[in-house]
Amino acid sequence: MGMGERIAEWPVLRQLRGEGGDRLGLRQAVESDRTHHLTARTATADRVVESICPYCAVGCGQLVYVHGDEVTQVEGNPASPISRGRPCPKGSATKALVTGPGREQKVKYRRPHGTEWEELSLDRAMDMIADRVIDTRRRSWQEHDDKGHPLRRCMGIASLGGATLDNEENYLLKKLFTSWGAVQIENQARI
């Protein structure tokens, strides 16, 4: 493209020519060639999955755009009665939580007095947690008080949920911990 042609493509000249009927220079007249050929990340998705923002207890609805097995974009869900498709800046960055290089993909374990993190298989980690729950429950179980009144509770296990837990997770946590006999079950968003 020669100098004359390049000058003719200046946005202000295209605006003055009224290119695309855009005399105010708000759309086509000021669009670069690169912008003109950009494709939205949502355009290539072959599936859209409804989800909930993982960050806080407001629980805004999200649409997760998926191409193959890759998440290509996460946006607010207009059908969400809470935010009607308008997530806050943190919720707008949810894709980075899923695809960012800092995301941990393996179970990490630091043994008592250890100074380094070790990698564990998920099966091994789940077995270790189950062993600890069974042992703690057995040692801290209270069948009755000093006067013989029934207690049937486990005082050695408590749960303090974070605000990123959604309704369904909190429901399951309450159900699980109550089934163990735990009575100290709380959530940060309620405190």
CB 81 to ligand SF4: min, Å: 12
| Closer Cβ to ligand SF4, 59 or 161, answer by number | 59
What are the Cα distances from residue 127, in Å, to 99, 109, 121? 28, 13, 10
| Closer Cβ to ligand SF4, 88 or 125, answer by number | 88
CB 172 to ligand SF4: min, Å: 19
Cβ-based burial of 80 (10 A; exposed 0-12, middle 13-18, buried ≥19): buried
| Closer Cβ to ligand SF4, 87 or 161, answer by number | 87
Angstrom distance (rounded) from CA 132 to CA 120: 16
| Closer Cβ to ligand SF4, 15 or 83, answer by number | 83
- Which residues in this chain contact ligand SF4 in the complex, by CB under 6 A? 53, 55-56, 58-60, 83, 87-88, 90-91
Angstrom distance (rounded) from CA 41 to CA 70: 12
Query: Is residue 170 a contact partner of residue 187, using CB atoms and an 8 Å limit?
Result: yes
Q: Which amino acid is at 160?
A: L
CB 159 to ligand SF4: min, Å: 21
Eight-class DSSP state of 106: S
